[in-house]
Chain A
Amino acid sequence: AQSVTQLDSQVPVFEEAPVELRCNYSSSVSVYLFWYVQYPNQGLQLLLKYLSGSTLVKGINGFEAEFNKSQTSFHLRKPSVHISDTAEYFCAVFISNFGNEKLTFGTGTRLTIIP
């Protein structure tokens, strides 16, 4: 079965410190990978996505993620966080498997920035 795992449900980080939010997926076929962000009381919006090519993907607001096929991971990183980064972050995987294509979301990681 295909799945997405976000191991950390909550991550507190001091302002201006670096952060890494972890995402692992299980699939033996080609995947497309996404990170979405949900600010308080809002819908989700795309942060970045990996489709093909360079394994390091840069997104909005200074975030980046690295696709690691051997470890089936797509961790999200930012070198220096800001108060405005407080939000919930969702990793999502699209798996194309001949009639079973769908976007599957992880359970989310709540990032809290401590002033």
Chain B
Amino acid sequence: NAGVTQTPKFQVLKTGQSMTLQCAQDMNHNSMYWYRQDPGMGLRLIYYSASEGTTDKGEVPNGYNVSRLNKREFSLRLESAAPSQTSVYFCASSRLTGEGTDTQYFGPGTRLTVL
């Protein structure tokens, strides 16, 4: 049981390049999330998927797109990377969303640098 896995662990991009961050969970969770973590700002929600086939914007969605490929996988795409997107990205999952009692389980993170 690997929990939540993310690839890659590290990535360096040039401004304007595109890339996709991959996330997968093996806990049969319905809901999945993408956060970014910046110094002094905590975690901010980029997008989430309450269930397979649905996605919704979070607090900071601009410059990102997501795909809920199936129940297990939720990818985050940067179409044209900008230096402001330099951050650590975390994927998380939970059994349900909107149910505030649920614990979110986090992946190990992807450290992205945009030059």
Interface residues of A (CB under 8 A from B): 4, 9, 31-32, 34, 36, 41-46, 49, 51, 90, 94-96, 101-103, 105-108
Contact = CB atoms under 8 A, between A and B. Distances in A.
22 contacts: A32-B100, A32-B101, A34-B103, A36-B106, A42-B109, A43-B92, A43-B107, A44-B43, A44-B104, A45-B106, A46-B103, A46-B104, A90-B43, A101-B100, A102-B45, A103-B45, A103-B104, A105-B42, A106-B42, A107-B40, A107-B41, A107-B42
Does more than half of chain B's interface fall in helix, strand or loop, or is it mixed?
loop
Does more than half of chain A's interface fall in helix, strand or loop, or is it mixed?
strand
The size bracket of the interface on B is 20 to 34
B98 A101 contact: yes
B108 interface: yes
Interface of B: 4, 40-45, 58, 90, 92, 97-98, 100-101, 103-109
